[in-house]
Structure 1
Amino acid sequence: MSRYFWSWFSNLYSEPAENLDKFIQNNLQPPKKELEKIDERINTICEFLEKQQSPSQVKGIVLGGSYGRNTVLKGHSDGTIVIFFSEPFAEADMKQTFIRDFNLIKIMGKFKTVNEKLQLELTESELTITFDIIPIFSTLVEPSGWQTSRDNKPSINTYQKWIHSKKFAFESPFCFTELQRKFFSNLPPKLKDLILLVKHWYQQCQKQLKQDSFPLQYALELLTVYAWEQGSGEDDFNIDEGILTVLELITKYKELCIYWTVNYDFEDETIRNYLQSQLRKDRPIILDPADPKRNVGGNDPNLWQQLAKEAKTWSTSSAFKKENSSSWKPWDVLPASLYVTQGHMLDKFIYDFLQPEQESLEQIKNVVNTIFKFLTEKCFKDSTMTVKKVVKAGSIAKGTALKSISDPEWNLNPRGSDVDLVVFFNCFQNYNDQIASRATIIKEIQKQLEYCPLKDFEIEFADTKWKNPRVLSFTLKSKLLNRCQEFDLLPAFDALGPQVSKFKPDPETYIKLIESSKCNSGSEFSTCFTELQRDFIRTRTTKLKSLIRLMKHWYKQCHRKLKKKGSLPPKYAVELLTVYAWEQGSGVHDFDTAEGFLTVLKLIMRYKELCIYWTINYDFQNEIIRDFLLSQLTNSRPVILDPADPTGDVGGGDRWCWHLLASEAEIWLSSLCFKRGNFNPVRPWQVPTVQTLGSSGLRFFPIIKPIFNST
């Protein structure tokens, strides 16, 4: 290693984090040419071994360890050569045979026995890789040919047999080497750079703590992948944010419960029951994504405690301070999944992980005020056009914002919640004016923001493909605040006037809306009713808003998993369904969160029967509105009418892939969320799938039997 390398590490906790990319490139990445030479030698050795017929036929060879996962560090790294045999063998005979075979190829590398392990050491200049030689005979696992199921996962039968197999202690870490390799094979290069940095830091900690072995190295590799998947997911990300996220997760080791479903999942009962038993054990839990029997998190709390101390030291050091005295921030990543959180712990889960911090909300408020002043005082000061009012919309206005969750769309940028600002203009005299002039206004606002930049902010505009866009999207990068804030500005016609919160809207407002909707798509003018949408949620009990947060978090998990399979129904539909479930099933301020969660999932599973509406802002008294509502309620189900805008059916019939969300809801029924501390099952509320007397005000349908019984 270079002198700079050791000097740099000795000052690791004070060196500016901006140097991390360069440091990884210069000091941690293995030399490409040297690694290629080792690749050639390994290929030659594997070809030689596959031709050997003694003592048993070689079925295949799989390369694992850091070498197989392509996370080799410059200097000294590790690897495994797992050799699968078609017949059982005696271990003593096997060692003698390997000694003989490797003597034939000793010119290729240094062959030795260490602690009764067979090892091969290959060196090229500054790069040395020590391979453990692992001979395996297994009737359960093949070295190749894994993808035998329709969803490109190993067959369920493989894992069922593996769970019941007693051959665990020796084989488990190595039988699934090929799946471990594939898990890492498609990761972006920059994520592997982050893994190298984490491994380097860990190895230096081990030297300081005088630990010879590295029992948690693979665990930290997986923890780094998890941090990236949950926090960024982008090929190009900020290394500083990534390493901070990993360090923060290490400090929360007592809460870590991490698993993947890329090779096995919860759908089969045998595997599900075993996984749940694994996930109920003492934490930290980091299950090998290839092997459900293997918790690589280990059971040494003392080692984790020491690592957590070192992680805290580095993450709070001056290394992550910027020149303007602000600090780099980690991604918002939960140390445990919602799926493995028991029902009686859901309120704590929401409070700890989903509820935004007051400091963050205050920062958003300050940035919003800056935009508000720009729009009302500067943007149109030389124009006859004026801004009548600016209304903050979306989850932040409703009081249901999540930590770093975008709204209304699930953009997984972790830097801050989107803020929707609906801007009402005096030049809009009706709904048609909004359509005709909004593109011009959006263009003018962007022009003014470009010509008159906001003090202390950098602005970046999002591209649009629409000829007549509804929204101006941009990001403000603050020089003073530790965040990038995304905004959506939506010009709108002031259909409701100034007395929004005091009175029920005049029926004439909705009659004009219905007339305009005949020539436009449903909910085209929903922005005009933003204040009603906001107040419908904002006035609800605090715990109901917490349940909405939980459902939005659940929806995010589903969206991440299902987005490539089809268009999910809008998040707003799930939000309204949550309100309906509470109104019809509970209605009290202090209710059981697990019961509410389960009730909403049950409703989603019955999506083909849903017909839900409210009469809080419009009703059936006026003939024109009544006829329109009755026609809306005969649409293909699910029907979920926006309580602020009757033209907006967010249920959408077959417009969206409700079946995907329903299938996911059914899988979640087996979650630990619906087990109490004594593992008694949670029961859902009794809620009809069709709106009944209550919040709707009138009943136009026969009573339908409840979707579930209390027994």
Structure 2
Amino acid sequence: MRDKLPQNLEPHSFVPPHWTTHHREVWVGESSDSGSGLGTASASALAQVPARELDRFIQDHLQPNPRLQDERAISGLRLVGSWSQLFLPPQGGSFGRGTNLQGDCDAELILFLNCFTNFEDQERHRGEILKEIRTQLASRWQDPVSGLRLTFPEQNTPGALQVQLVSAVPETWVNVSLLPAFDALGADTKPQPQVYTALFNSGGHDGQHAACFAELRRNFVNTRPVAAQNQEQPGPSLPPAYALELLTIFAWEQGCKNHSFNMAQGLRTVLGLVQQYQDLCVYWTDNYGTEDPALRTHLLGQLRKPRPLILDPADPTWNVGQGSWELLAQNAAALETQACCMSGDRTPVPPWDVLPALLHQTPARDLDKFISRFLQPNHHFLAQVNKAVNTICSFLRENCFRNSPIKVLKVVKGGSSAKGTALRGRSDADIVVFLSCFTQFTEQGNKRAEIISEIQAQLEACQQEQQFEVKFEISKWENPRVLSFSLTSQTMLDHSVDFDVLPAFDALGEAPGCRPEKGKDRSRQAQGPYHCAGEFSTCFTELQRDFIVSRPTKLKSLIRLVKYWYRQGHKMPKGKGSLPPQHGLELLTVYAWEQGGQDPQFGMAEGFRTVLELITQYRQLRIYWTVNYSTEDETIGDFLRQQLQKPRSRPAWSPDSGWDLLAKEAEDCMSALCCTDRDGTAIRPWPVRVRAWGDQGGCSFPTPGQVTKALF
């Protein structure tokens, strides 16, 4: 093998060395600064740094060389790195990805040698190659000019030769790991599926051949303006800090994707994910996907393994999340309570909305588990929201209009929390207050702004007495429909709760369960000067709530899943227009279940797939229910006919042309793992027919009680 090894090694060219035979070398890590390191010292002070000063802290204490790393977002990874260094011993590999810290003096050099023709060759001959490299370095190293001394520390990294370059004046060092590897990629920037097939056939597992994919790993991080410290080697039982690097990229991609993000929010998001390590399932398909059968089989096998699962984006055999996370999780929880994660008023900085696993990467059979673990609110969270809601409801009943001739007829809880379809972590509540000053629909439109101003003034006056604090959202509308504010309390709440309070006309009176006799008035008043789609829908909050509350528990879980998917769509870059109202997706889900058999214990993947299918056919949708109104009344019948004559591409209550955007998202999701069976075939939707009733000029009506296809 000697004739294939590096020859003529010169001391000044050691970093990087000059080889005269066929090979190529890739630096995946090097520090730009030398010294004893500031990372650990800085990490001990991180907790006391105010959240607003984190950027300055990174610049002063963590960033090694602004000339080399001028992307602000990369700083986020160093921040996580400074925290992790309290528990993870520094080891190189971060400079190549632009995520190294001050004083991080370790480096890696991957040597792709032509003596390895496949993965098996590398495994068979690597030990012999490493011995030969060490022999040549020991016998040929000379550097009388710079005074650099070459030593061999304790060898504790399998498959690598560790050397240390020491300078006497000043006393500094650089640790270098040399890793000989098979050149699996060659000149390709993206591996062909055959590369991974060969990797699987070689028996490689747990990142055994990770060095062969070093360039992909480096490029994966370098193309993203986000970072986390890369510490390739784990401590005695801890996961590698490279797992934190990937976790930080995942958090930024799913929660922000903005180059100018809030550093404290980013840090708190990563700390939250660390505490949810038992649910982590993170992987990318930049270099490998599910199209190739061998890759798909392997990936599905990985997804069946216990969590945490954080797959290396270059090597699908390497779960970098292995190790003991308990200590990291405990310290992450402690750091969340410190100054670095607090806003100026000492309230916690809100994290980004990121779950520890992605919906579209969840196998179809695991959707029920996904909902229960990530979407279903826990009892403590619901109790907190209910406590806040009861506080505001009591205020509206007892304090708001006590010195006014206006009487509060009733206060009704609306929105998803009242329907039983709230998502975990979504601490928002709708409250509709029915007032005696509204005797008809038009009065609600005329006097609404005045009433909202009065409620705001009373809330501001009452907050000291009630020991809560409110922050109002300024409405951009001249005649606002809603008073939006957040409520915070040091004595009764762990977090703030967002409220929408809506004053309304009591159209139903004392019998909300009955068919509304005033529906006739609603259709007439809808032609008034304040009319727009859904203008007076708040008057029927109880009917909307009861329509969902009466449904089976599993159907409400499907609604949660559809709402979560819908909200993820809001994070995607969009063109002109906005997505249609979320309430429309709730009704579409109910319709799919009704037409799909009304089984209370249905298959979640089939239900989800059916809703997505209906969304892609939005131009044909005509859905309405005659539970509360029918065509028997002449006025209502005429109004419904007008609604049904509208084009399907612009359904009622959806003034923006966002359905095409939503349909594209649905089409993409239908080909993802969450809608795919174990054998790779698409999950079959329920047999729900979509067809138009009549034509654009008119439509035939179904009998009362029958569900037809006209959305809103």
Counterpart of 1:656 in structure 2 is 657
For normalisation by structure 2, the TM-score amounts to: 0.71
Aligned match for 1:381, one of 381, 388, 402: 402
Counterpart of 1:390 in structure 2 is 411
Structure 1 distance, partners of 2:182, 2:46, is: 50
Counterpart of 2:100 in structure 1 is 72
Counterpart of 2:705 in structure 1 is 697
Structure 2 distance, partners of 1:101, 1:657, is: 69
Aligned match for 1:356, one of 358, 377, 380: 377
Change (3 A) 1:545 1:106: farther
Cα deviation, residue 528, structure 1: 2.1
Counterpart of 1:432 in structure 2 is 442
The answer to whether the aligner puts 1:338 opposite 2:359 as a matched pair is: yes
Contact 1:568 1:656 in 2 (8 A): yes
The answer to whether the aligner puts 1:282 opposite 2:293 as a matched pair is: no
Structure 1 distance, partners of 2:577, 2:174, is: 45
Contact 1:638 1:651 in 2 (8 A): no
Aligned match for 2:331, one of 314, 331, 356: 314
The answer to whether the aligner puts 1:583 opposite 2:608 as a matched pair is: no
Contact 1:17 1:240 in 2 (8 A): no
1:443-482 correspondence runs (5 A) = 443-454=453-464, 455-480=466-491, 481-482=493-494
Change (3 A) 1:508 1:81: same
Change (3 A) 1:238 1:456: farther
Contact 2:610 2:685 in 1 (8 A): yes
Counterpart of 1:422 in structure 2 is 432
Cα deviation, residue 435, structure 1: 2.7
Residue 217 of structure 1 aligns with an amino acid whose one-letter code is A
Residue 297 of structure 1 aligns with an amino acid whose one-letter code is V
Counterpart of 1:182 in structure 2 is 222
The answer to whether the aligner puts 1:256 opposite 2:280 as a matched pair is: yes
The answer to whether the aligner puts 1:551 opposite 2:562 as a matched pair is: yes
- Deviation by residue 1:347-369 (Cα, 9 ceiling, x = unmatched): 23222221111221111111111
Question: Secondary structure at the residue paired with 1:390?
Answer: strand
- Deviation by residue 1:574-618 (Cα, 9 ceiling, x = unmatched): 111100000111213222222211111111122222121111122
Superposed CA RMSD in Å reads 5.0
Structure 2 runs not aligned, ≥5 long: 1-34, 71-91, 123-128, 694-700
Counterpart of 2:674 in structure 1 is 673
Change (3 A) 1:106 1:425: farther
Cα deviation, residue 377, structure 1: 2.0
**Of the two, which has the highest radius of gyration?**
2
Structure 2 distance, partners of 1:100, 1:434, is: 92
Structure 2 distance, partners of 1:119, 1:676, is: 50
Structure 1 distance, partners of 2:705, 2:112, is: 70
Change (3 A) 1:315 1:175: closer
Residue 427 of structure 1 aligns with an amino acid whose one-letter code is C
Structure 2 distance, partners of 1:76, 1:575, is: 52
The answer to whether the aligner puts 1:492 opposite 2:509 as a matched pair is: no
Of stretches 75-84 and 100-109 in structure 1, the one that deviates more from structure 2 is: 100-109
Residue 515 of structure 2 aligns with an amino acid whose one-letter code is F
Structure 2 distance, partners of 1:559, 1:19, is: 33
- Deviation by residue 1:222-248 (Cα, 9 ceiling, x = unmatched): 123334555677524357844641331
Question: Secondary structure at the residue paired with 1:237?
Answer: helix
Residue 567 of structure 1 aligns with an amino acid whose one-letter code is S
Cα deviation, residue 23, structure 1: 11
Structure 2 distance, partners of 1:227, 1:471, is: 33
Structure 2 distance, partners of 1:470, 1:591, is: 39
Counterpart of 1:297 in structure 2 is 320
Structure 2 distance, partners of 1:495, 1:310, is: 58
Question: Secondary structure at the residue paired with 1:35?
Answer: coil
The answer to whether the aligner puts 1:534 opposite 2:564 as a matched pair is: no
Aligned residues: 614
Question: Secondary structure at the residue paired with 2:494?
Answer: coil
Counterpart of 1:235 in structure 2 is 262
Contact 1:420 1:489 in 2 (8 A): yes
Change (3 A) 1:140 1:98: farther
- Deviation by residue 1:294-330 (Cα, 9 ceiling, x = unmatched): 63426x5xxx2xx233235435669849999999998
Cα deviation, residue 656, structure 1: 2.7
Structure 1 distance, partners of 2:387, 2:250, is: 33
Of stretches 275-284 and 460-469 in structure 1, the one that deviates more from structure 2 is: 275-284
Structure 2 distance, partners of 1:105, 1:578, is: 77
Structure 2 distance, partners of 1:295, 1:560, is: 30
Cα deviation, residue 95, structure 1: 10
Counterpart of 2:685 in structure 1 is 684
Counterpart of 1:594 in structure 2 is 605
Structure 2 distance, partners of 1:225, 1:117, is: 30
Counterpart of 1:58 in structure 2 is none
Of stretches 118-127 and 482-491 in structure 1, the one that deviates more from structure 2 is: 118-127
Residue 511 of structure 1 aligns with an amino acid whose one-letter code is S
1:38-49 correspondence runs (5 A) = none
Change (3 A) 1:444 1:675: same
Contact 1:136 1:175 in 2 (8 A): no
Question: Secondary structure at the residue paired with 2:272?
Answer: helix
Structure 1 distance, partners of 2:692, 2:417, is: 28
For normalisation by structure 1, the TM-score amounts to: 0.71
Contact 1:257 1:279 in 2 (8 A): no
Structure 1 distance, partners of 2:658, 2:688, is: 23
Question: Secondary structure at the residue paired with 2:592?
Answer: helix
The answer to whether the aligner puts 1:217 opposite 2:241 as a matched pair is: yes
Structure 1 distance, partners of 2:417, 2:365, is: 27
Of stretches 230-239 and 102-111 in structure 1, the one that deviates more from structure 2 is: 102-111
Contact 1:423 1:491 in 2 (8 A): yes
Cα deviation, residue 76, structure 1: 3.0
Contact 1:343 1:674 in 2 (8 A): yes
The answer to whether the aligner puts 1:246 opposite 2:270 as a matched pair is: no
Change (3 A) 1:140 1:318: closer
Question: Secondary structure at the residue paired with 2:430?
Answer: strand
Contact 1:327 1:482 in 2 (8 A): no
Contact 1:422 1:489 in 2 (8 A): yes
Structure 2 distance, partners of 1:514, 1:21, is: 50
- Deviation by residue 1:258-278 (Cα, 9 ceiling, x = unmatched): 1245x4686966798478446
1:82-231 correspondence runs (5 A) = 107=146, 117=161, 130=175, 159-160=192-193, 162-163=195-196, 169=209, 172-184=212-224, 186-187=225-226, 195=228, 206=235, 209=236, 216-227=240-251, 229-230=253-254
Question: Secondary structure at the residue paired with 2:503?
Answer: strand
Residue 531 of structure 1 aligns with an amino acid whose one-letter code is E
Contact 2:239 2:325 in 1 (8 A): no
- Deviation by residue 1:63-92 (Cα, 9 ceiling, x = unmatched): x93223343234335445679999999989
Structure 1 distance, partners of 2:171, 2:505, is: 69
